[in-house]
Amino acid sequence: MPDYLVCRPEMENTPENFSIAVLILCSFILCPSYGYCQEIKLSSSIGLSLQEAVNLTFKNNREIKVQEEEIGDTKNNKDKNG
């Protein structure tokens, strides 16, 4: 017979084991859960149409491109000046 099916003396149904099991069960049921999910409402969220979102994306991409060019120019000037 496999070991996990054998009733061990330390696993007997004693009043002490029963009270511990009830205490653990009650602590799970009665204690509030702090890990629940909650939707967070951001007041700074903006409802955009698809066209507005696309336009905003292109604008951001242009700004990033300009910044990358400025960084490249700075590196080139730094290399030239040593």
The phi, psi pair for 2, rounded to 5°, reads -65, 150
pTM above 0.85, yes or no: no
Instruction: Tell me what pLDDT residue 26 has.
Output: 78
Q: Is residue 75 part of a domain?
A: yes
Q: What is the pLDDT of residues 19-65, one digit of tens each?
A: 888 888 877 777 766 656 666 676 666 778 899 989 999 999 999 99
Q: Is residue 57 part of a domain?
A: yes
Range of the domain at 53: 48-82
Query: Is the model more confident about 54 or about 4?
Result: 54
In the numeric block, which tokens belong to residue 15?
Answer: 């009043």
**For the chain, what is the largest distance between any 2 Cα atoms, rounded to a whole number of angstroms?**
85
Q: Is residue 32 part of a domain?
A: no
Instruction: Tell me what pLDDT residue 63 has.
Output: 93
Query: Is the model more confident about 30 or about 6?
Result: 30
Instruction: Tell me what pLDDT residue 16 has.
Output: 75
Q: How many domains does the chain have?
A: 1
SS3 (DSSP) at 65: helix
CA distances from 71 to 16, 58, 59, 64 (A): 72, 20, 19, 11
Q: Is residue 65 part of a domain?
A: yes
Q: Is residue 59 part of a domain?
A: yes
Which H or E element spans position 27?
helix 15-30
